[in-house]
């Protein structure tokens, strides 16, 4: 089953590729081991394949057949070429596997995991100093103890001022992160990390353009960690790790070709002393819940970027993993914890 959907955002989302006003994708159903698994393929401009390429890849995979043909179907989808399509199919497949084994998906990834909650961060937009501080106070009142600020669109001096206002507005034990989306050159990035260190910023996400692995590696070793996001689109994960370009990997299952790929990469990174953080690409409920299960299968996970449901004005169905007091309770039903019958594509 492939069913296309289009979900409006509650407000436009600004990215390096332009503003996003809707999330267009496909709901995927796949019969395997006597049950039907559900998946989601929601391409993101500049990060994955196009919507048309995604649909074509899904169609070819589902044409291969069901159940015992799943390995052949997966082989038709290259995670680097059509990651969103592979995510949709792979999620439906592992959902069916976990349902057949009668375990939640996160325990299908790691049978020893007993995680019940995943900590999440709040994301603060690129507002002025006063509005940013007010938004930070509001997020902390809602139970968040980790805040991520968008930086890089303004002058560095202004961003430092915004971060200082947030640090003064919240308790010292609230973790602060910054996300520059590759906006700076090497000199500015070095100056930023020096300035942010005094404000106890935990890490800066993508302080340099995605292709600059040498520059990212050179920034490491100071009081503020370096996280990579867009670099995982430009480079293979193995190359990023080999270049020692990151203290933290920002893992988006939709961009990496599925929840299984994301979990494997997370554990490989951990073995190499690099911390994983799981986030979404502002997905609908199926992919968002799959990302929650990935995070729950990673021991001692840092707060993750999974509190994105409010970016959507509408969704495909009820959320089995809502955010409360800065954390998400992991669904304990078999598979994803989502029933296909409860999902509906808006007209």
CA 33 to chain centre: 29
Q: Tell me what pLDDT residue 64 has.
A: 83
Residue 317 and residue 302: Cα distance in Å, rounded?
Answer: 28
Q: Which two tokens stand for residue 226?
A: 């370096």
Q: Which two tokens stand for residue 44?
A: 């993101």
CA 341 to chain centre: 26
List the chain pLDDT tens, one digit each, 347 residues.
Answer: 999 999 999 988 765 556 788 999 999 999 999 999 999 999 998 889 999 999 999 999 988 866 678 888 888 999 999 999 999 999 999 999 999 999 999 999 999 988 899 999 999 988 899 999 999 999 999 999 999 999 998 899 999 999 999 999 999 999 999 999 999 999 999 999 999 999 999 999 999 999 999 999 999 998 999 999 999 999 999 999 999 999 999 999 999 999 999 999 999 999 999 999 999 999 999 999 999 999 999 999 999 999 999 999 999 999 999 999 999 999 999 999 999 999 998 86
For the chain, report the end-to-end CA distance as a whole number of angstroms. 17
Complete domains list, the chain, with CATH? 2-102 (3.30.390.10), 109-342 (3.20.20.120)
Q: Tell me what pLDDT residue 63 has.
A: 85
Kind of pairing between the strands at 117-119 and 327-329 = antiparallel
Q: Which two tokens stand for residue 4?
A: 């296309």
Q: Tell me what pLDDT residue 67 has.
A: 64
Asked whether 121 and 144 are in contact (CB, 8 A), the reply is: yes
HSE at residue 292, side-chain half, CA atoms within 13 A, is 34
Q: Tell me what pLDDT residue 142 has.
A: 95
Q: Tell me what pLDDT residue 14 has.
A: 66
pTM score? 0.95
Asked whether 306 and 118 are in contact (CB, 8 A), the reply is: yes
**Got the DSSP string for 88-107?**
HHHHHHHHHHHHHTTSBHHH
Q: Which two tokens stand for residue 292?
A: 């929650």
Kind of pairing between the strands at 275-278 and 248-251 = parallel
Beta strands in the chain (DSSP E): 2-15, 18-32, 35-41, 117-119, 122-124, 146-150, 175-179, 201-205, 225-228, 248-251, 275-278, 323-324, 327-329
Residue 20 and residue 257: Cα distance in Å, rounded?
Answer: 21
Helices 156-169 + 186-197 axis angle, to 10: 20
Query: Any idea which residues carry the catalytic annotation?
Result: 150, 252
């Amino acid at each position: 089953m492939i069913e296309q959907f289009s979900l409006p955002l509650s407000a436009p989302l600004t990215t390096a590729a332009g503003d996003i006003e809707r999330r267009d994708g496909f709901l995927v159903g796949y019969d395997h081991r006597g049950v039907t698994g559900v998946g989601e393929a929601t391409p993101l401009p500049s990060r994955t394949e196009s919507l048309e390429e995604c649909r074509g890849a899904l169609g070819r995979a589902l044409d291969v057949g069901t159940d015992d043909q799943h390995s052949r179907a997966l082989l038709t989808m290259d995670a680097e070429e059509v990651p969103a399509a592979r995510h949709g199919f792979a999620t439906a497949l592992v959902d069916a596997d976990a349902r057949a084994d009668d375990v939640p998906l996160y325990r299908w990834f790691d049978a020893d995991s007993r995680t019940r909650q995943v900590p999440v961060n709040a994301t603060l937009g690129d507002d002025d100093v006063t509005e940013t501080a007010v938004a930070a106070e509001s997020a902390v009142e809602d139970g968040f103890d980790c805040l991520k600020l968008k930086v890089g669109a303004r002058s560095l001096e202004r961003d430092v001022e915004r971060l200082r206002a947030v640090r003064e507005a919240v308790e010292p034990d609230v973790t602060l992160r910054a996300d520059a989306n590759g906006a700076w050159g090497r000199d500015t990035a070095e100056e930023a990390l020096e300035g942010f260190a005094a404000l106890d910023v935990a890490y800066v996400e993508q302080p340099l353009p995605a292709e600059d692995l040498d520059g990212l590696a050179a920034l490491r070793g100071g009081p503020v960690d370096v996280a990579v996001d867009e670099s995982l689109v430009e480079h293979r994960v193995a190359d990023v790790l080999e270049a020692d370009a990151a203290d933290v990997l920002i893992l988006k299952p939709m961009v990496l070709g599925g929840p299984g790929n994301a979990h494997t990469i997370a554990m490989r990174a951990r073995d190499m002393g690099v911390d994983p953080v799981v986030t979404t690409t502002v997905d609908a409920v199926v992919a968002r819940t799959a990302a929650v299960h990935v995070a729950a299968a990673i021991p001692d996970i840092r707060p993750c970027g999974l509190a994105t449901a409010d970016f959507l004005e509408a969704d495909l169905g009820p959320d089995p993993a809502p955010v409360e007091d800065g954390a998400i309770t992991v669904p304990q039903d078999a598979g994803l914890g989502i029933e296909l019958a409860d999902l509906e594509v808006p007209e």
